[in-house]
Amino acid sequence: MQQGPRAALSMSRLRCILRGFDLKTYIFMFVVVPTCIFGIYLHGQKISYFLRPLWESPPKPFIEIPHYYHENMSMESLCRLHGWGIRESPRRVYDAVLFSNEVDVLTIRWNELYPYVTQFVLLESNSTFTGLPKPLLFASHRDKFKFIEPRLTYGTIGGRFHRGENPFVEEAYQRVALDQLLRIAGIEDDDLLIMSDVDEIPSAHTINLLRWCDDIPPILHLQLRNYLYSFEFFLDDKSWRASVHRYQSKTRYAHYRQTDQLLSDAGWHCSFCFRHVSEFIFKMKAYSHYDRVRFSHYLDPKRIQDVICQGSDLFDMLPEEYTFKEIIGKLGPIPRSYSGVHLPAFLLNNADKYRYLLPGNCKREAASG
């Protein structure tokens, strides 16, 4: 019976409180505050990345090893220039990768490394790192790689399909399986093992140097030229995750920092370098950083095509740097490069087929066949 009077009393108190507010307070409460909340929702990730220097220190710098090469120099001279000896015979080389959907980039990689690799080792899963089912694309395109068939160790692994799990768990699971496949391929102590993603391509002369030189470090990270979408958009030279190991029984396949030594200018990293827009969409949904797809319109084909030609970021993110100077210096689209010098030889020899990867050719095809 007393609920009515109590409700009326509460409304009366509320009216009294609201009468005490002026127009500026109303504007602040009902316009500014909701706008700020909506802005944080839209751009919270950008704010976090911009303020990164306040809460995260830069990693320990690498010890960068100067890298020398000229086609007219003997291997003995090159090894001595690096402070290393020369072997009587070259080491065997194993190139091991996890494969998702980068058919064209894999073709360029294997042709670049073909003269010096003893065994190509490729593992493919029917699951993406994010737990989505995927076709065995390498198996369906295997006829394109007949040139390496005698040197190929190919394996498949069934996905666990744990949707919602941290994608890096599935990635680690597949990398452990790659260790087993390497042993099946016959790798032995002191063989060279290349650990890198498909799109992290060591240059042929780098691998030839390391297989011939004695006393090289047991593990070397490779500094790669960082490109985005094609060799038209040169980002920086900060790609370092690719590595080369003098294999030991305790060696484990990994994609994180494993040593402080970094060999300078050792190849190319061409990230999101796809022929078809549909391949961009697949990778955006499939790889370990799927959380960057914060809004569904990021996957719109027209938007993706526009972003590629602008040299902008697919995920509308700020640069991942550790100082305000570096962040501000990289704001905005990547400047175009018009240089086709020092690119993989197979790419240039087959320019008509892979023109979309060369400067001045940002338009992509709609869907893969």
Q: How far is CA 10 from the centre of its chain?
A: 59
Q: What is the pLDDT of residues 43-74, one digit of tens each?
A: 566 677 667 788 788 899 999 999 999 999 99
Provide the total of helices (H) and of strands (E) in the chain, helices listed first: 13, 14
Q: How sure is the predictor about 235, in pLDDT bands with cuts at 50, 70 and 90?
A: very high
Instruction: Report how far residue 239's alpha carbon sits from residue 200's, in angstroms, rounded to the nearest whole number.
Output: 9
Residue of higher predicted confidence among 186 and 20? 186
Q: How sure is the predictor about 187, in pLDDT bands with cuts at 50, 70 and 90?
A: very high
Whether the CB-CB separation of 339 and 225 falls below 8 Å is answered with: no
Q: What is the pLDDT of residues 157-175, one digit of tens each?
A: 988 777 777 877 888 889 9
Q: What is the mean pLDDT of the chain?
A: 89
Q: Which backbone phi and psi does 308 adopt, to 5 degrees?
A: -60, -50
What's the number of CA atoms in the CB half-sphere (13 Å) around residue 200? 24
Residue 27 has pLDDT above 80, yes or no: no
The two three-digit tokens of residue 289, written as one number? 């950083």
Q: What is the pLDDT of residues 68-120, one digit of tens each?
A: 999 999 999 999 999 999 999 999 999 999 999 999 999 999 999 999 999 99
- As a whole-number percent, the residues of the chain with pLDDT over 90 amount to 67
Helix or strand holding residue 108 (H, E): helix 103-113
What's the pTM value of the predicted model, to 2 decimals? 0.86
Q: How sure is the predictor about 290, in pLDDT bands with cuts at 50, 70 and 90?
A: confident
- Residue 56 has a pLDDT of 84
Quick one: 142 exposed, middle or buried, by C-beta within 10 A (0-12, 13-18, 19+)?
A: middle
Q: How sure is the predictor about 33, in pLDDT bands with cuts at 50, 70 and 90?
A: low
- Residue 1 has a pLDDT of 46
Residue of higher predicted confidence among 287 and 218? 218
Residue of higher predicted confidence among 294 and 16? 294
- Find the range with the poorest average confidence among 26-30, 119-123, 144-148, 246-250: 26-30
Q: What is the pLDDT of residues 318-347, one digit of tens each?
A: 888 889 889 898 889 999 999 999 999 999
Residue 41 has pLDDT above 90, yes or no: no
Instruction: Report how far residue 357's alpha carbon sits from residue 269's, in angstroms, rounded to the nearest whole number.
Output: 13
Q: Which residues contact 57 (CB under 8 A, 6 or more apart)?
A: 322
CB atoms within 10 A of CB 179: 15
Residue with tokens 């958009």: 233
For residue 220, CA distances in Å to 115, 128, 297, 359 come to 21, 29, 40, 31
